[in-house]
Amino acid sequence: MDDNRPIAVFDSGLGGLTAVGALAELCPNEDLMYFGDTGRVPYGTRSRRTILRFSAQAARFLQSFGPKALVVACGTASTAAMETFEYPGVPAVGVVEPSVRRAAEATRNGRVGLLATPASVRTGAYSDVMGRIAPSVRLTEREGRLLVPLVEAGRVSPGDRVAEALVAEYCAPFLQAGVDTLILGCTHYPLLNTLFAAALPGVALIDAGAEAAAALRGLISRAEPNRIGKLRFFVSDDAEGFSEQAAMFLRRRITEPAEFVDLEEIL
């Protein structure tokens, strides 16, 4: 039976729009709704207690739309608060397991790197999943504390000396560890792919948001095959300025208006 209910996607900011773009390509007939908690980004430097509270509010908001599935495109929420997005009958996919599985398949020398937010690394979630899926793979984990604000500021282009220096600094431990595969554990990071590729020549880059989108596709009941899916955007700050900034993440012009939501009103 066709199921035209929307797929909901959540991120702490705008990085999860990279997962929306992947979903739109994989499932063009599906309605997608995106919520970015732009008023409280980033989550990655906050305590787990705060991340759980913010995530629970976001989950309640998304659940009110009766989605048929949910993608938690925020790496931090996927590692520290995934349980808040899980409720009966609605599949929820985070970025951890899909990206770990892909990295375990991609590595040739058994050495994989993880670059993620401080909160994600602190949970040990990626290490736990890798130990279960591919215990022989050696995982080198590092945090990229400054990369989310860098990307949100649009500093992603080759030739930007600050961006290049930061990416090189964060990649140095992976070069020393000899990794041949790197999980970009935050959905902001793929916007820096060109810089990562230059800093880590020959290393396979795993886009956590794209892997989550691919994993979800196999779990959902499909919408009517001939319909054209619609996009709906929600943010917790600066809905008016959304289109210009979001276009960088979606890699296309945004014509759909963003709607403002105050999560502090959601108990």
Residue in 62, 77, 156, 186 annotated catalytic: 186
Q: CA distances (Å), 186 to each of 4, 16, 205, in order? A: 29, 9, 12
| Residue position matching structure tokens 């993440």 | 249
CA distances from 240 to 86, 194, 234, 243, 260 (A): 31, 29, 11, 7, 9
Can you tell me the distance from the alpha carbon of 155 to that of 161, in angstroms, rounded to the nearest whole number? Answer: 9
186 is catalytic: yes
Angstrom distances, CA of residue 182 to CA of 100, 115, 207: 10, 7, 9
Catalytic residue among 51, 69, 74, 184: 74
CB 129 within 8 A of CB 103: no
Ranges assigned E (strand) in 137-266? 138-143, 181-184, 204-207, 231-235, 258-260
Contact call for residues 28 and 226 (beta carbons, < 8 A): no
Residue 74 annotated to the active site: yes
**What 3-state DSSP class applies to 113?**
strand
Measured CA angle at 14 (ends 13, 15), to 5 deg: 100
Tokens of 12: 């702490």
Tell me which residue has tokens 């609605």.
90
Instruction: List the structure tokens of 5.
Output: 């209910």
Catalytic machinery residues: 74, 186
